[in-house]
Structure 1
Amino acid sequence: MTIGVGTQTQEQAFASLSDMTTDVAHIELAEFEQRIAKAQSLMQQQGIEAIYINAGTNLYYFTGTKWYASERVVGAIIPAVGNVEYIAPAFELDTLEGYMAIKGKVNTWQEDESPYALFAQTLDNMGIHSGKVGIDESTAFFIFDGMRLANDKLNYINAKSITAGCRMIKSSAELGLLQRAKDMTLAVHVATASILHEGITTAEVEAFIHEAHKRVGAPAGSYFCIVLFGEDTAYPHGVKSPKTLEQNDTVLIDTGCQLGGYNSDITRTYVFGEANERQRSLWDLEQQAQLAAFAAAQIGETCANVDRAARAVIVDAGFGPGYDVPGLPHRTGHGVGLDIHEWPYLVLNDQTPLEAGMCFSNEPMLCVPGEFGVRHEDHFYMTDAGPVWFTTPAKSIDDPFDLAK
């Protein structure tokens, strides 16, 4: 049996877990202020008069305001020079002000009034009558369309160069939250492997993982969870009707949680029972691809070339080519932070050069439909000296969690 797999009951596994968040440092007001200042500096460099930030992770990133996007317009206008102002429904005023870390004037609209006209009037009151105004890339089209029609004198552009330009580079506080979230999920992975037994369902494993994330300090439990057994592991995001666990099945578990809004996302693949030569061969090949991507991730190198390095390992072994399966059907990795997938991406068409502070998943999955799949997913962050793992990659197919020390 694979080391660490099927060794204890759920009750015993839960007893081994405890809150890992008691000493976590969260984002302070000064950091939100620094983010606003950086955004304004970028706007001035790019000749952008202001950006509109819609409810969601961008709004939290810049203003500390946790608010989910809906059909009602809630957002902030960050001018290139001056103070942040907000737009919100009048009945939400008191609630919104309670969530705001960055304080500012809140311009309100009643339910039978146009928030788009209010947006145009607010810009006018801020002295912005012409020029480029960036719109948060996550803004729903109907909101952007309303804003555009309310004032067609402005040149509306995608605000991604500002939002991603700031968010791609993580601060030490952000790295700390990401590190702890990933430590938590790795502990959950170890506990989960220990409770597997023949006949357990994917739903039962998912329920355990959800509760285990709560035990280690994630109040909402799992942010997401994919559990696959046997042939189902060949499909990156699962199948409609998952199977129950059988002896010598390949097991793939991809899960994560949030801490202070920041995401973990770790995948482990191993065997319930004894690995055969085919499982060993593909597991090792996947490991080589993951390590090739890590080695290629150097300051100044492009995201595309990191993907290219991982893909070459798999293609040279006779899989692919390109995105064909059997092979690697998707990108090697994605940025991670407040969104589980965010800029930049380790994919062939992303020419973004790597910089210190960038964070990525590294998961060049090997999919063999009709047999099984292998995905090793760990994350790393860039330093001036090169990449650093958040979590140590799986050691071997026989001892994935390096327990035989």
Structure 2
Amino acid sequence: MAIGIGGSNAAAELAKLKDMTGGVEPIQPAEYAARVARAQALMKQHGLDAIYIESGTNLLYFTGVAWRRSERLAGALIPASGPLHYIVPAFERGTFTGMLQIPGDMHCWDEDADPYRLLASVIEQAGCANGTLGFDESAPYFMYEGIRERAAGLRIKSAAPVTSGCRLRKSAAELALMQRANDMTLRVHQAAAAILRDGIGTDEVLDFIDAAHRAVGARRGSTFCIVLFGPDTAFPHGVKTPKRLERNDMVLIDTGCQLHDYHSDITRTYVFGEASARQRDVWAHEKRAQAVAFERVRAGIEAQEGDRAVRDYLATAGYGPGYALPGVPHRTGHGIGLDIHEGPYLVGGDRTVLDEGMCFSIEPMLCVPNEFGIRHEDHAYITADGPRWFTQPAKSIDDPFALG
């Protein structure tokens, strides 16, 4: 049995876990103000007179308001100069105001009113009625239609050059939150590995991981969790039916949490029992593929180059080519931050030029249909000196958590 796999139980492991959130602060008002200033500078560069940001992570990023998206318009108009304007359901004003980190003019609409006419009026007040509006690229199409039909003189483009232009590069405060969140999830992974036993069900492990995330300080528990045993590990995002663990099964666990809204996301794969020569060989190729991508990414190269390096290496090892199986069925990595998946993406066709502060997963998964799959997933960020890991990758198939 590999070091750290099995031999304990849920109660014992939960008792060992302590809150890990101390000493890390949420994003402060001064940083929100700097984000808005950066957005306004980018608007001028891209010929936008204002941007409209709907509820969701873009609104959270610029204003601190964590608002669940619904059919009701609730968001912010950020002009290229001047104060912000908030468009909010009247009955939600108190709750919305309590979350704000950036002051602005509040415009409320009652349930029987037309919120899009209100937004058009606010755009006119801001002096942008005949200008160009950047519309939140993540907002529903019906909202785009709503403002387009009520502001005939307005030119509407995607706000993505501004929103992504700000969000792609993480600040020191963002990196600190993501570092701690990943530290928390890695500790949970270690605890989950220790409770494995013959016959344990995937659902029991899922419940434990949620409780463990809460124990280390993740208020909402697991943001997501995938637990797979045996041949099911060849399905990247899981299967419908819970399974029970058998001796010498491959185990794949992919999970994460949030700390002050920033995500972690780590996958570990190892064997419960004695690894076969076949399992060892594929595990080693997966580990090398992850390292190849890490060695390739750095400031100044396109995001797609990380994926290309992985596929080139694996082709020499007899996998693929491309997305053919046995091989890598999905992209090598995704960006992370307030969204679990955001830009940049390590995938063919993503020509984003990597820069300092950009964060992404490195997780080229090797799938062998009807046998098993192996995914090593850790996240990295770009510095002036090259990439750095948030968490160190799995050490070896015999000591995945470097406990020996």
1:143-222 equivalent positions in 2, closer than 5 A: 143-222=143-222
Name the residue aligned to 1:313.
Answer: 313
In the other structure, the counterpart of 1:246 is 246
Q: Secondary structure at the match of 2:271?
A: strand
State the distance in 1 between where 2:312 and 2:229 align. 27
- What are the superposed Cα offsets for residues 24-46 of structure 1, whole Å, 9 maximum, x if unpaired? 12211000000000000000111
- 1:388 maps to amino acid: R
The CA distance in 1 between the partners of 2:395 and 2:94, in whole Å, is 52
Instruction: Indicate the SS of the match to 1:105.
Output: strand
Give the partner amino acid of 1:93.
R
Distance in 2, Cα, partners of 1:221 & 1:314: 36
Residue type at the aligned position of 2:218: A
| Offset, 1:152 | 2.4
Q: Give the Cα separation in 2 of the matches to 1:50 and 1:121.
A: 14
Q: 1:5 is paired with a residue of what secondary structure?
A: coil
Secondary structure of the equivalent of 2:289? helix
**Deviation of residue 155 (structure 1)?**
1.4
CA contact (8 A) 1:129 1:153 kept: yes
One-letter amino acid matched to 1:84: L
CA drift of 1:322 comes to 1.0
Distance in 2 separating the partners of 1:189 and 1:239: 20
The answer to whether structure 1 residue 401 and structure 2 residue 378 are counterparts is no
Provide the C-alpha distance between the structure 2 equivalents of 1:205 and 1:319, rounded to a whole number of angstroms.
31
- In structure 2, the partner of 1:138 is 138
**Which residue does the alignment assign to 1:116?**
116
Match of 1:94 in 2: 94
Identity of aligned residues (%): 57
Aligned-partner Cα distance in 2 for 1:234–1:13? 28
The alignment partner of 2:245 has SS state of coil
Q: What is the RMSD computed on CA atoms of the aligned residues?
A: 0.7
- Greater than 3 Å deviation, 4+ residue runs: none
Alpha-carbon offset, residue 143 of structure 1: 1.0
Partners of 1:152 and 1:344 in 2: CA distance: 34
TM-score by length of 2: 0.99
Deviations along 1:27-67, one digit per CA (max 9) or x if unpaired, are 11000000000000000111101000010111010011111
Contact 2:333 2:347 in 1 (8 A): yes
- Alignment length (residue pairs): 404
What is the one-letter code of the residue matched to 1:373?
A: G
- Contact kept? 2:46, 2:161, Cα under 8 Å: no
Alpha-carbon distance in 2 for matches of 1:326, 1:132: 49
Query: Does the 8 Å contact 2:120/2:129 carry over to 1?
Result: no
Aligned partners of 1:150 and 1:213: how far apart in 2? 47
CA distance in 2, matches of 1:56, 1:374: 33
Read off the aligned partner of 1:119 and give its amino acid letter.
Answer: L
- Residue-by-residue CA offset, 1:364-392 (whole Å, 9 max, x unaligned): 00011100000000000000110000000
Q: Distance in 2 between matches of 1:297 and 1:255?
A: 24
Contact preservation (8 Å) 1:231, 1:370? yes
Structure 2 residue aligned with 1:274 = 274
8 Å CA contact 2:129, 2:151 repeated in 1: no
Q: Secondary structure at the match of 1:72?
A: coil
Helix, strand or coil for the counterpart of 2:49?
A: strand
Q: Name the counterpart of 2:21.
A: 21
Matched, 1:343 2:340: no
8 Å contact kept, 1:97–1:103 = no
Is the contact made by 1:5 and 1:194 (CA closer than 8 Å) also made in structure 2?
yes
Alignment-derived partner of residue 50 in structure 2: 50
In the aligned structure 2, how far is the partner of 1:371 from the partner of 1:403? 28
Other structure's SS at 1:209 match: helix
* Aligned mates of 1:91, 1:189 — CA distance in 2: 43
Return the alpha-carbon distance in structure 2 between the equivalents of residues 379 and 346 of structure 1.
12
Q: Larger deviation: 34-43 or 59-68?
A: 59-68
2:69 maps to 69
Corresponding letter in the other structure for 2:293? A
